[in-house]
A and B are shown apart, each in its own frame.
Chain A
């Protein structure tokens, strides 16, 4: 009984750890490869 409970807790802990790593690591994509920002002057705000 105790051994089963221990296994369940270890499994839950491992799953939680994996979920945490998956949730927090990595990025959401890559920067744009072309182009860039240009300020909009008042003359273009027609």
Chain B
């Protein structure tokens, strides 16, 4: 497998480590515009070729390109598809995700896959939703909640997401709601536990809803403190940390099984940058080996038809996956 990685921040670094742990990897071209990134990559082995550049040019013969930088992901992805490579975009910015999804026709025509939103949420949340859906006959609702941030870019985006207009799938149509509204106490796997979560401008509904035809509601919420909500409309009061610590995802599916209403709650715990880098890395190896479902641009809920093995690979990297059991009938376990 010949891979390229664009962006070497917190997520890109984890994706690089994941790809380098794969014995099938022949070469890894890393394109980074930050000189500090070059220093960070000096410990990598001789399969790595470092190219400090702002505008990456993907060489012909590259099997897969992982995009892990916040801006112009669609431009990089379009260039990669033209060069004949599959693309895994570890981005969660709504503008970028919409632009990436617009590559559907181009990618289909080229017979290449553009996996959009391969991070913790979206990304792992999408695969968990696919996994949970296999336990139901019909999926009526999918509710995603996430806790924690990866690198500084992720932290800034989450800060802004709480004050932006939110789009969620409600009764078969897109509905706009104010960010920071809809507080719900969500119970994440330990050690995170309970955290108040709010509507935020996240892309999970955009990527999950098309994967489940007939689904009535898809929502996404973000854990936030009172200070986060109070200051959401202001610039960040202090610079974000280089990398967040603990993170968690929770995916609740509601539907029917054997004619009875059923709720399935799945979760994960791990450092968000590690989770995002791992999900991007696994998606890249799957794309390069032709294991993703189809050509075109879509989220992992559509592209990963066999979520069990995908989750096994993610779990083998130290990311804890969990299921909530013993929910009493009718009990509101989390987001609604």
Question: Are A35 and B309 in contact, with the CB atoms below 8 A?
Answer: no
- From known contacts A34-B331, A42-B312, infer whether A24 and B196 are also in contact, taking CB-CB under 8 Å: no
CB distance from A35 to the nearest CB of B (A): 3
| Alpha-carbon distance between A20 and B321 when the two chains are bound, in angstroms | 37
* Size of B's binding interface in residues, CB under 8 A: 35
Give the residue name and chain of the B residue nearest to A23 (CB). Answer: B229
CB distance from A33 to the nearest CB of B (A): 7
Question: Are B333 and A32 in contact, with the CB atoms below 8 A?
Answer: yes
| Alpha-carbon distance between A46 and B306 when the two chains are bound, in angstroms | 8
**Chain B contacts for A20, CB-based, 8 A:** 230
Interface residues of A toward B: which range? 20 to 34
B325 on the A face (CB < 8 A): yes
Question: Are A39 and B184 in contact, with the CB atoms below 8 A?
Answer: no
**Chain A contacts for B186, CB-based, 8 A:** 28
**Chain A contacts for B122, CB-based, 8 A:** none
**Chain B contacts for A28, CB-based, 8 A:** 183-186, 196-197
Q: What total count of A-B pairs have CB within 8 Å?
A: 75
- From known contacts A23-B229, A30-B185, A45-B308, infer whether A36 and B321 are also in contact, taking CB-CB under 8 Å: no
**Which A residues, 1 to 46, have Cβ-Cβ distances below 8 Å to chain B?**
20, 23-24, 26-40, 42, 45-46
| Alpha-carbon distance between A37 and B325 when the two chains are bound, in angstroms | 6
B315 on the A face (CB < 8 A): yes
| Alpha-carbon distance between A35 and B250 when the two chains are bound, in angstroms | 15
**Which B residues, 178 to 210, have Cβ-Cβ distances below 8 Å to chain A?**
183-187, 189-190, 194, 196-197
**Which B residues, 309 to 336, have Cβ-Cβ distances below 8 Å to chain A?**
309, 311-312, 315-316, 320-328, 331-333
| Alpha-carbon distance between A42 and B183 when the two chains are bound, in angstroms | 34
**Which B residues, 217 to 247, have Cβ-Cβ distances below 8 Å to chain A?**
226, 229-230
| Alpha-carbon distance between A11 and B186 when the two chains are bound, in angstroms | 36
**Chain A contacts for B331, CB-based, 8 A:** 32-34
**Chain B contacts for A34, CB-based, 8 A:** 326-328, 331
| Alpha-carbon distance between A23 and B230 when the two chains are bound, in angstroms | 8
| Alpha-carbon distance between A20 and B229 when the two chains are bound, in angstroms | 10
Q: Which residues of B contact A (CB under 8 A)?
A: 131, 183-187, 189-190, 194, 196-197, 226, 229-230, 266-267, 307-309, 311-312, 315-316, 320-328, 331-333
